[in-house]
């Protein structure tokens, strides 16, 4: 996977600069947007794994922005940053944007950096899980296809000790299976 990317969205340039400065030594790319609309446009151009958005922005709040992000890019990790912490705004952000974390300004730099690292790790683990589940799905479909072609091929028999007992196959059956596998391999190569 390429280097992870964090998107910072805040209408205050000094906050963006402060956040960027705090992250200068980190092992991920940082991009910024000064509005929710700019953030959405940036997402069309560049893959992002984690977004930190200010709650109070003109035009579209951070909660509204992260709610749109959740719908269009559900795997991106979302963090909200606010100067006005209230239980109501926190609940709204959690419910509408399914945020990962909620921070108030001024933020604790160490806790903030740790949340970003953990968020990126969460993204990577979930991405790996999606890939593995996709692989399992493909393999299951392939086994099902093989079972249709060669009924009983996926049956596994074991002896008393749990060791797998391989059935005796005739030379014709082995040749038929090998021929089938060659056809499938060449078909996959053309795709």
d(CA 97, CA 83): 18
pLDDT tens for each residue of 65-115: 999 999 999 999 999 888 776 666 666 666 665 788 888 778 888 899 999
The whole-number pLDDT of residue 92 equals 65
In three-state secondary structure terms, 8 is strand
Pairing of strands 164-165, 157-158: antiparallel
Residue range 108-131: average pLDDT? 92
Q: Which residues contact 10 (CB under 8 A, 6 or more apart)?
A: 16, 19, 32, 34, 53, 54, 57, 81
In Å, what is the CA distance from 145 to each residue of 62, 85, 142, 180? 48, 56, 5, 11
As a whole number of Å, the end-to-end CA separation of the chain is 24
pLDDT tens for each residue of 8-66: 999 999 999 988 988 888 889 999 999 999 999 999 999 999 999 998 888 998 889 99
d(CA 163, CA 159): 6
Q: Which of 12, 20, 6, 62 is nearest to 37 (CA)?
A: 62
Residue ranges of alpha helices (H) inside the chain are 13-22, 36-45, 62-72, 87-97, 109-149, 171-190
Q: Hey, which of 2-6, 56-60, 72-76, 151-155 has the most confident mean pLDDT?
A: 72-76
The whole-number pLDDT of residue 85 equals 61
Q: Which residues contact 20 (CB under 8 A, 6 or more apart)?
A: 8, 30, 32
Higher pLDDT, 2 or 179: 179
The whole-number pLDDT of residue 188 equals 65
> What domains does the chain contain, in order, with CATH numbers?
5-129 (3.40.50.2300)
């Amino acid at each position: 996977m390429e280097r992870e990317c964090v998107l910072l969205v805040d209408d205050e340039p000094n906050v963006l600069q402060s956040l960027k400065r705090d992250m200068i030594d980190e092992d991920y790319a940082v991009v910024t947007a000064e509005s929710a609309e700019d953030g959405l446009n940036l997402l069309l151009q560049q893959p992002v794994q984690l977004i930190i958005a200010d709650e109070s922005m003109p035009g579209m709040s951070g909660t509204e922005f992260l709610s749109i992000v959740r719908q269009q890019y559900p795997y991106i990790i979302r963090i909200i940053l606010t100067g006005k912490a209230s239980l109501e705004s926190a609940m709204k952000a959690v419910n509408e944007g399914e945020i990962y974390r909620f921070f108030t300004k001024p933020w604790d730099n160490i806790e903030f950096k740790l949340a970003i690292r953990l968020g990126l790790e969460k993204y990577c683990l979930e991405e790996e899980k999606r890939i593995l589940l996709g692989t399992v799905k493909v393999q299951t479909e392939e086994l099902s296809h093989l079972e249709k072609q060669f009924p009983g091929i996926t049956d596994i028999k074991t002896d008393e000790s749990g060791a797998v007992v391989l059935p005796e196959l005739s030379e014709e059956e082995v040749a038929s299976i090998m021929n089938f596998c060659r056809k499938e391999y060449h078909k996959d190569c053309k795709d």
